[in-house]
Amino acid sequence: MDDREKFEKKIRSYVDQVCLYEDPKSQESARKTVPVDELQEKAIVSLAKEGKYEPSKQEQDHAFLLQLLFWFKQSFRWVNAPSCEHCGDTSTFQDMGDPLPSELQFGGYRVELYGCNSCQKVTRFPRFNNPVKLTETRRGRCGEWANCFTFYCRVFGYESRLILDLTDHVWTECFSHLLGRFMHLDPCEAVYDQPLLYEKGWNKKLNYVIAISIDGVRDVTKHYTRQWNEVLSRRNIITEEILSNMLAEITRQCRSTFTSQLLSELEDRDEKENQARERNSHSVDDSSVSLPGRQSGDKEWRKSRLEIGSDEEGSLSSSACSVRKCVDEHVTRIYSAFGSILSQLPDEEFSKSATIEVLSFIQGIVTDLKKSAFRTRTALVDSDSDETKAFLHRLFPSLKHFLGALSLDSNLDNDGRVEIWLAKEPVYTSLALPVVLDALEEVIQDINKCDNFGRAFLCLPRLKLNRIHSGSVLASGEELPFGIATSAFDGIRSSKWEEPNGAKGCWIMYKVFDNKMEELVAYELISANDAPERDPMDWIVEGSEDGGNSWHLIDEQTNQIFDNRFQRRSFFVTKTGLLSNTFRFRFLAVRDGESTSRLQIGSIDLYAPSFNSIS
């Protein structure tokens, strides 16, 4: 078999592979393995955080596809060497084995044999090709990952392609009606719409990149390179003419049963796509975007393939951030409404233990609501004791106001039953619930640690009645897509702003909504979820009266240490009377700048001296 025949055989095997994705029963089986409601909720929340409370179907479909990608990254497992199936210890590759009939049934033609490093027994690792089987095993390397993820994309109706890189990688493309084009998605890395990831981030020496789908095969190499002449010099398996004719013939066969109208539409789109690829191959790449080296696979294996890149922490980041709008009015509403409950408790002479009981009761209600189906959230809360019934009647006006801040309505009947239901579109409650759960957990922990609970306890950080909101944010850099600058202002401590090059100095700037002049009397920082060496240690807070043209000093802190993860630190401004429409944090140093290049912050809250009610 000559090179041309080998090349064609390889491509045709992948055409057969993608045809498996179209079986309705297989799709139905695969759909049951995906938490669809959870991903749909995350999709609409991600859009709402961009201010899109009534997104179009195209926006929703695009957002769901991204959530499917992120979920897949978390649910599928990369296998360097399988754990011993007998004792669970590590194993070492020994040899290739003959496939068993049960393995051949699911396309496991290649079987790797691993010897246990402890019990010496052999573990088989069949490289399954059957996509339905992969939804069960949920493990493998890039071939299994891309095969299964592309299948999932077809399950949810996305026009999809399996992308074969002949320098040994596989990924996915899906057509985004929002973008009006096919979009690159790499499930192994959870990276999307970054086609230069391999050439620029992994330092791959590409040659042939072929897109395979049920409507044909295409040479999409030019979409993944800005060094076409170099790539062309490495394309020496077959001639360009033979390649073009081969792909055209396979495509013709794939489309042999298509209607004339569909053929015309596909040919028109193919032509437009070819023109776009030609333009892209001669364009200049965005130098402000830093693409990571490979993250999937054992580190030594990645090094041996020269794919590890220059940034071992491996982040997709940008040093040319766009101005982002903070969609966080709900955070301020929740803090204010929660404050009204806290303020009432000492007035009603609730003891420390009774206060914890009340807040834990509310926490239970909110937790149950969070677990319920997001489109039809309801709750019916029965009072389990006369004491509970009594405090519900006393606190219900404040509780109703608090639930209203979560876009929920409620009713308390004479028997002490509280009925709760959605008052607005589900996305408003979906945005609010994580914020209030964080706030409740934090306050309950604070009260448990408090020796003298009383009205004096009710001050910042417990009461947050004047939080500044709805401004716009710009930063010196950010990690994409989860460490963006607005994550510091979303009221959720598990999210974070991450500046990949911020350890030795960086900044984040907050412009007040509608250029309103505000006096900053206090601010709070929350440490992020991990890596304490990235915590800010020294910083300066500045204000500007003219949108950032000139600055005045508001506060300065040095040698500040966060002892715990998710620790909230409150800082009170001693300089009074300084009005600003823009605030800037200049972070000068992190806790351990020798061990990291990064800075990260879980949350930033800014407070003005007087509470302006939100209608």
Q: Is the pLDDT of residue 207 over 60?
A: yes
432 and 491 within one domain = no
Residue % of the chain over a pLDDT of 70: 96
Owning domain of residue 550:
317-325+464-607
Is 87 noted as a catalytic residue in this protein? no
Would you say residue 509 lies in a domain?
yes
Q: Is residue 577 part of a domain?
A: yes
Give the model confidence (pLDDT) of 498-524 as tens digits: 999 999 999 999 999 999 999 999 999
Same domain, 407 and 440: yes
pLDDT for 318: 65
Among 391, 426, 452, where does a domain finish? 452
Please tell me which residue in 142, 148, 153, 174 is annotated as part of the active site: 142
**pLDDT interval class at 615 (50, 70, 90):** very low
Residues 577 and 532 in one domain: yes
In terms of Cβ atoms closer than 10 Å to its own Cβ (0-12, 13-18, 19+), residue 128 is buried
Q: What is residue 319's predicted lDDT score, i.e. its pLDDT? A: 66
Query: Active site residue: 165, 186, 490, 605, which one?
Result: 186
How far is residue 74's CA from residue 25's CA, in Å, rounded to a whole number?
25
Distance CA 136, CA 269 (A): 36
- CATH number, domain at 512? 2.60.120.260
Selecting among 61, 165, 169, 174, the annotated active-site residue is 169
CATH number for the domain harbouring residue 367: 3.30.1370
445, 492: one domain: no
For helices 329-347 and 426-449, give the axis angle rounded to 10 degrees. 40
3-class secondary-structure state, position 483: strand
- The verdict on residue 527 lying in a domain is yes
- 169 as an active site residue: the answer is yes
Whether pLDDT at 497 is above 90: yes
* Cα 245 to Cα 266: distance, rounded to the nearest angstrom: 18
89 neighbors 119 (Cβ within 8 angstroms): yes
Residue 231 confidence (pLDDT) above 50:
yes
Pair 421, 357 in one domain: yes
Residue that finishes a domain, picked among 407, 425, 452: 452
| Domain end among 452, 477, 509 | 452
What's the pLDDT tens digit per position in 284-307? Answer: 776 667 788 888 888 888 888 888
pLDDT at 38 over 50: yes
456: Cβ–Cβ under 8 A, 6 or more apart, which residues?
A: none
Spell 484-499 as b/e; 16+ CB within 10 A means b: bbbbbbbbbbebbbbb
Q: Are residues 475 and 592 in the same domain?
A: yes
DSSP for residue 552: E
Q: Is 142 a catalytic residue?
A: yes
pLDDT above 70 (res 313):
no
Could you give the CA distance from residue 311 to residue 306 in angstroms, rounded to a whole number? 13
Total number of domains in the chain: 2
pLDDT above 90 coverage of the chain, percent: 79
More confident residue, 320 or 548: 548
Q: What is the H or E stretch that residue 584 is in?
A: strand 582-590
DSSP code for 62: H
Q: What is the pLDDT of residue 348?
A: 74
In-domain check, residue 227: no
| 545 is a domain residue | yes
What pTM was estimated for this model as a whole?
0.92
Is there a domain that residue 204 lies in? no
Nearest to residue 68, comparing CAs of 130, 158, 128? 158
**Token couple for 267:** 């040919």
